[in-house]
Amino acid sequence: MRNAIAAAAAACLLAVASAPGRTQGLEGTLKKVKETGTFTIGHRDSSVPLSYLDERLQPVGFSIDLCRHVVEAVKAHLGTPNLDVKYNPVTSATRIPLVANGTVDIECGSTANMTSRQKQVAFSYTFFVPQFKWIVRTNANVNATDDLRGKTVAVTAGTNTALFVNKMNSDGRLGMTIVQGKDHAESFLLVETGRAAAWMEDDVLIAGFRANAKNPVDFRLLDQSYPSDPYALMLRKDDPQFKTLVDETLARLMRSGDFEKLYTRWFESPIPPRGINMRLPMSDALKRAVTEPNDRPNS
């Protein structure tokens, strides 16, 4: 009988050791999540349509949907179907510190993967490739940057786009008069009121302003585009286990076609809370990133 009891105890120990999600062998974020039973998503409040609050003040958006797939992958990997998922708001100023110090396990927003930021945090595969574009009034006779020679154009103060337009103006000897809006809303207003012929910014941002305008058809984005920095999910640095799981989740969505379906839902269809449509087709640059997933920054 004693031998039978010992054998049964040994079998139980073996079962526990073999159980999915055992902390032994886990590192970094996955170990922390397994031990605490909690996974925390960092989100933005107004990065439409990537990460923002709906009419019930709940986080929604393209980035949020991608992270919900990551959550399901974490649950499966750890064997924790009842994992407690929390949402923590972040801003441009707090997002990197909150990921780095472990308050947030993954940031699902509109953060650019840049070499300078990789000194503090890590990034997933690219999930969106913004491009600098001009927005103009539909009735303006402007079809390309060259048509803006000698005209007044808008940029937003303190942005990398402002630096880009100044260099473009100088290098191309375009003779543009560059005026600065104190924020994106003021920059768009300069075009809306005719005080500027065009405004340049990330396409996703200007598409949002167009979609929310009183008469969206009065504005259009020029086809011509210029590379900006790719957006990625932000993770803690030196955490290869979790980064591999996140990257594999995104790659699986890209291979299956589900990534494209999510893109269509958030960028080419009416979205909450007002039913606006961004009308922003997937760029060639993003199509390449979907075909060949990568985590490379531009700068």
Beta carbons within 10 angstroms of residue 6's beta carbon: 10
**Is 122 within 8 Å of 234 (Cβ atoms)?**
yes
Q: Residues 233, 146: one domain?
A: no
Q: Residues 247, 171: one domain?
A: no
Contacts of 273 (CB under 8 A, 6+ apart): 54, 55
Token pair listed for 188 = 């768009």
DSSP E strands, 19-172: 38-43, 46-47, 51-53, 59-60, 84-89, 106-108, 121-128, 131-137, 152-156
Among the listed residues 40, 33, 14, the one whose alpha carbon sits nearest the alpha carbon of residue 77: 33
Tell me if 76 is assigned to some domain: yes
Q: Residues 61, 121: one domain?
A: yes
Tell me if 20 is assigned to some domain: no
Q: Residues 181, 44: one domain?
A: no
Beta carbons within 10 angstroms of residue 61's beta carbon: 24
Residue in this structure with the two tokens 């300069």, named with its chain if needed: 190
Last residue of a domain, one of 209, 227, 245: 227
Say if pTM beats, i.e. exceeds, 0.85: no
pLDDT in tens, the chain (299 residues): 444 444 443 333 333 333 444 566 999 999 999 999 999 999 998 888 999 989 999 999 999 999 999 999 999 999 999 999 999 999 878 999 999 999 999 999 988 898 989 999 999 999 999 999 999 999 999 999 999 999 999 998 877 788 899 999 999 999 999 999 988 889 999 999 999 999 999 999 899 889 889 899 999 999 999 988 899 999 999 999 999 999 999 999 999 999 999 999 999 999 999 899 998 899 899 999 999 999 999 86
**Is 194 within 8 Å of 201 (Cβ atoms)?**
no
| CATH code: domain of residue 195 | 3.40.190.10
Query: Measured between alpha carbons, how far is 197 from 101 in angstroms, rounded to an integer?
Result: 44
What is the longest distance spanned by two Cα atoms in the chain? 96
**Is 221 within 8 Å of 246 (Cβ atoms)?**
no
Q: Residues 125, 139: one domain?
A: no
Q: Residues 243, 126: one domain?
A: yes
Q: Residues 273, 283: one domain?
A: yes
Tell me if 238 is assigned to some domain: yes
Last residue of a domain, one of 227, 248, 268: 227
**Rg (Cα) of the chain, in Å, rounded?**
23
Q: Residues 201, 116: one domain?
A: no
What's the domain range around 126? 26-130+229-291
Among the listed residues 11, 10, 13, 32, the one whose alpha carbon sits nearest the alpha carbon of residue 21: 32
Q: Residues 139, 124: one domain?
A: no
Query: Measured between alpha carbons, how far is 133 from 227 in angstroms, rounded to an integer?
Result: 9
- Number of domains observed in the structure of the chain: 2
Token pair listed for 52 = 């923002």
Predicted pLDDT at 93: 82
In DSSP notation, 215-232 reads SGGGEEE-S--EE-PPEE
Q: Residues 43, 103: one domain?
A: yes
Q: What is the CB-side half-sphere exposure of residue 117 using CA atoms within 13 A?
A: 28
Q: Residues 140, 221: one domain?
A: yes
Query: Measured between alpha carbons, how far is 234 from 112 in angstroms, rounded to an integer?
Result: 9
Q: Residues 250, 223: one domain?
A: no
Looking at residue 89, its amino acid is: P
Last residue of a domain, one of 193, 227, 261: 227
